[in-house]
A and B are shown apart, each in its own frame.
Chain A
């Protein structure tokens, strides 16, 4: 489940459905869970992932060639969520594949497959609002994003529909590049806290044990995604899982 405010930092990691192959996904997720990761995003690959940097964008293009899709994502979640009942699986997708599936049906099927939350970077809060009663009924948490340039007025509106946790985009730009965790960043996190009691997940630019140490005590969740996908791409899923285990030891989160 989702952590509570002030719980110790935990790492959320990532799978792109179909990358490196549909068969490899389940084994890679087993490896992440065995390494101590309790929260995993399952990303539906998309042809035009505009909020992602090249690591994830290229992995999406690969995943599409091996058959990654919305249906395969639901299928995978069903398998891994029953196998790993203590882990929390989060659906990550751009809007169009879900829109084509039919949003209402998708929400129902995602909840039935065992998803606890979802991140849709190009779905603005205005679009979520009409679905809130259904999502609350299903127990499927919209994890909404805030960014450094989001106004207070808008953070308040986002906080109203956010469930589970708020995804705090650490900096301007797309995924996959280093972030500096200085005073500006801390002031930004403090500003977001004024609007919500939900735990915060920090994403974009979390790439090392040092980053995780810097975020310990600042937030409840850190999204360690692009770097993990690089490991998976370059070293294979088993070494990626071993690296993840070491990362949690090095960052004193094991």
Chain B
């Protein structure tokens, strides 16, 4: 795995936080430095992932789809089969081990699509911790089923009403909470962003994905893949999928960002391609941010709440500048097409976030030879997207069902009030 130079990856990374947060970050960094090279800690972590989340997740060949596209052989790394339905739980279980060692009793988290919030709520329930999850008010509307489950699991979900009301604002609000609560609260940052040591720490836990992927490729393909493709929001699933391959120069690493509606300002979340993100320092770290000339962070859009973020992992920003990671983008339209294609030819329901990886990977596979192999990291499953998918593929019977269900819920509420 990649190692930072005192928290920096090339020019990116660092720790630009209000003074109040420094002691907690230093404590976390010291603990991480002690544990990261301890094989028994890694064993403890992998063991927990196995007994609680079903790891290792399989590497699934897409035989029918590969044939239909007529290019390279496509494989999926099935992070959607994790408990909670996404790769997010890997990082959360790892940070749970740290929380136990620190003896803190409360955790907070930011969440976009709700997958990280859900994973944190699960971990908190399992370890008996109090949890508060910050989520943009617009994202709550987009991902209500995850909000429902977080609350059922006993977590407090706080809607963030400021600014663009998405992931960026949720992260700001989590940092504000942490400034007040840092002495007894751990901030379970959900992606490979934020102040050091988070980018490195989250990538370390997520690297379990590529470590397994490499072993599985050698066993099932007989060699390393030609390309590994992952969607990039903050960058944690991409860092997880790329981590163990960074030294294997023959394996091309492709990060697919959210092309949204268009590449006009405010209509996408592409940060690593030319003329998009620019170096900036905000939310505790230096990376490529979408921003204007005055250094104000920009508005973003994606059909997938989990990719709707203004910055990107400083590790990926660095690797995209060195050329090791190739940035690509998939538009909302390409994403829904890829989503549909996977579902209908392979019987797998992908998350809209992960469908960006699919769209980018399918496009590349088509141009490759049948003796070549592409692994796409399927970071999460799509059940949570049922309402969004229903909008993309309208069905009158679904709308009618929602109406009946709403009526029933109202009747139930009224009956309860009448009691």
Contacts and interface: CB of A to CB of B under 8 A. Distances in A.
B10 interface: no
B20 A70 contact: no
A46 interface: yes
Contact of A57 (B16, B20, B162, B296): B162
Interface string A64-107: 10000111000000000000000000000011111111000000
A97 B20 contact: no
B320 interface: no
A150 B294 CA distance: 31
A108 interface: no
A122 B182 contact: no
A101 B281 CA distance: 12
A203 to B, nearest CB: 12
B19 A145 contact: yes
Interface stretch (B36-44, B55-63, B129-137, B168-176): B168-176
Among B281, B289, B296, max chain A CB count under 10 A is at B296
B296 A50 contact: no
B340 interface: no
Contacts of B19: 121, 124, 145-147, 150, 158, 169
B103 interface: no
Contact of A98 (B22, B181, B295): B295
Interface in A159-202: 169, 172-174
B15 interface: yes
A47 B20 contact: no
B336 interface: no
Contact of B18 (A51, A98, A158): A51
B16 A174 contact: no
B293 interface: yes
Interface string B146-182: 0000000000000000110000110010011001111
A36 interface: no
A123 interface: yes
B295 A154 contact: no
Contacts of B278: 100
Given A50-B176, A145-B18, A147-B19, A70 B294 contact: yes
A145 B293 CA distance: 27
Interface residues of A, number: 41
A69 B294 contact: yes
A97 B293 CA distance: 8
Interface in B165-219: 168-169, 172, 175-176, 179-183
A213 interface: no
Contact of B295 (A53, A57, A97, A150): A97
Contact of A48 (B15, B20, B172, B179): B172
Nearest to B23: A149
Report the interface size class on chain B: 20 to 34
A174 B180 contact: yes
B223 to A, nearest CB: 45
A151 interface: yes
Contacts of A71: 294
A47 B289 CA distance: 12
Nearest to A174: B176
A145 B179 CA distance: 14
Among A47, A96, A100, A146, max chain B CB count under 10 A is at A47
Nearest to A53: B176
Nearest to A52: B176
B179 A51 contact: yes
B180 A96 contact: no
Contacts of A47: 163, 296-297
A22 B119 CA distance: 45
Interface string B78-94: 00000000000000000
A150 to B, nearest CB: 6
A193 B344 CA distance: 70
A69 B23 CA distance: 32
Contacts of A21: none
A18 to B, nearest CB: 11
Interface string B85-127: 0000000000000000000000000000000000000000000
Interface of A: 46-51, 53-54, 57-58, 61, 64, 69-71, 94-101, 121-124, 127, 145-151, 154, 158, 169, 172-174
9 contacts: A48-B169, A50-B283, A51-B18, A57-B162, A95-B281, A100-B293, A100-B294, A169-B19, A172-B180
Given A46-B295, A96-B297, A149-B183, 10 more contacts: A48-B283, A96-B281, A121-B19, A127-B16, A146-B19, A154-B22, A172-B179, A172-B180, A173-B20, A174-B180
